[in-house]
Amino acid sequence: MNIQLSEHFTYQKLIKFTLPTIIMMIFTSIYGVVDGIFVSNCVGTEAFAGVNLIMPALIILGSIGFMIGTGGSALVSKTIGEGDKQKANEYFSMFIYIIIMTGFIFSIIGFWMMRPISILLGAEGDLIEICVTYGRTIMVALIPFLLQNCFQSFLVVAEKPRMGLIISIVTGVCNMILDFLFIYVLKMGVFGAATATGISQMVGGIVPLVYFMRKNSTNLRFVKTKLEWKPIVKACTNGSSEMVTNISMSLVNMLYNFQLMKYAGSDGVAAYGIIMYVGYIFAGTYLGYSIGSAPIIGYHYGAGNQEELKNLLKKSLKLLGITSIVMTVAAEVFSKPLASIFVAYDRELLDMTTNAIRIFSISYLISGINIFASSFFTALNNGVVSATISFLRTLLFQIAMIAILPAIWGLNGIWFAVVFAEILALLVSVLFLLKERKKYQYA
């Protein structure tokens, strides 16, 4: 029996409801890692570095789907909580149509601008062609990519997190099989990696689209709608924190790459790419929980259930605290085996990457609370606070640390940058949680 958004959530119900989304995010991260494994081991370090150079630009475009998905789902779940399901479905339909139109426009612009973007990101010589080939291939599948990111949130609002998990697993398995076929068997290089990713994204984006186009038993379905600017602005404001996070991470990744080229060359860029792949898996737990719990928070906020908001916040902070300790210990223990998956063939690069993972992993103790705090305010439809936490955490604090710490500790200073940025962000998150507690009555 499905758990309803309107229920009182015990620890067991909260874990049961969010677990499919957590697994979905982890699984999504894993099949992204598979791309990196195949490219690194079958095509080479230069190709791996090239893919990681262009990736920030692709993530920026993909963040549009996250913005509308998280911001729109917060508004839709709040509207359902207020009892107006018809209006909620009108908003839902409008947001999906906007995603499709926006994806079409940006896919054309991205395809045309991929070469100058690659050069701007620091690609030179053969790296330019690697970036252009990978980036343009991904642009062909941009619309389903945006839909996939968007539906991750709306499937939770529809009380179908397990469906989201199943779609994610199918998408991931498809990508892994095609990676093996295109890269290992057919020797298609980075074009094969991008093609495999693009085809799998079509599965992840189109399957839920078809599901909601047909009659279904959920809270959400496509209905006749019209363009309304007020809910669009509200959704974009609500979801701006998620877009800020993705854009900021991409800009910071570019800065990391520039600093690493200065301190360690292309090996440093490759090492950082591995850290990001590994980090996606661990951060996927926090992101999955935040995405999975946000519609619950949004619903009870809309319904005016302050006691349940208190309950959800208290239990969430305890669960995240325990999880952060377990994941940090796991990352420290398995740092070398994780690095070996990518670069076992290069002893020097393996040692550099292992050391980097061990330092970077300290941030997992803190990042979960910061990710959840931003998502919590998104669910409360307070996009300003949510975006402020994300902006400071993922951009301002990290830029400052990346600029300052390498001058003190050299290469290790680059790996420590995210740790110090998360500590500063935690202070901001706690400050906002205390400041807004009377307004929302959650503590």
Check: CB of residue 61 under 8 Å from CB of residue 106.
Answer: yes
Residue 364: per-residue pLDDT: 94
pLDDT (tens digit per residue) in 275-333:
887 887 888 899 889 988 988 998 999 888 999 999 999 999 999 999 999 999 999 99
Check: CB of residue 143 under 8 Å from CB of residue 205.
Answer: yes
DSSP string, 260-291: HHHHTHHHHHHHHHHHHHHHHHHHHHHHHHHH
Nearest to 265 by CA among 46, 419, 109: 46
pLDDT (tens digit per residue) in 261-275:
778 876 787 788 788
Residue 436: per-residue pLDDT: 93
26-40, 192-206, 218-232, 400-414: the lowest-pLDDT one: 26-40
DSSP letter (8 states) at residue 4: P
pLDDT (tens digit per residue) in 143-194:
999 998 889 889 888 888 888 888 888 888 898 899 999 999 999 988 999 9
Does residue 73 register a pLDDT over 80? yes
CA distances from 314 to 9, 14, 167, 369, 385 (A): 11, 12, 31, 12, 19
CA distances from 364 to 20, 24, 35 (A): 21, 19, 23
Within a 10 A sphere around the Cβ of 24, how many other Cβ atoms? 29
Does residue 115 register a pLDDT over 80? yes
C-alpha distance across the termini of the chain, in Å: 31
Residue 32: per-residue pLDDT: 65
- Positive or negative CA dihedral for 136, 111, 248, 439? negative
Residue found by looking up tokens 């309950």 in the block: 311
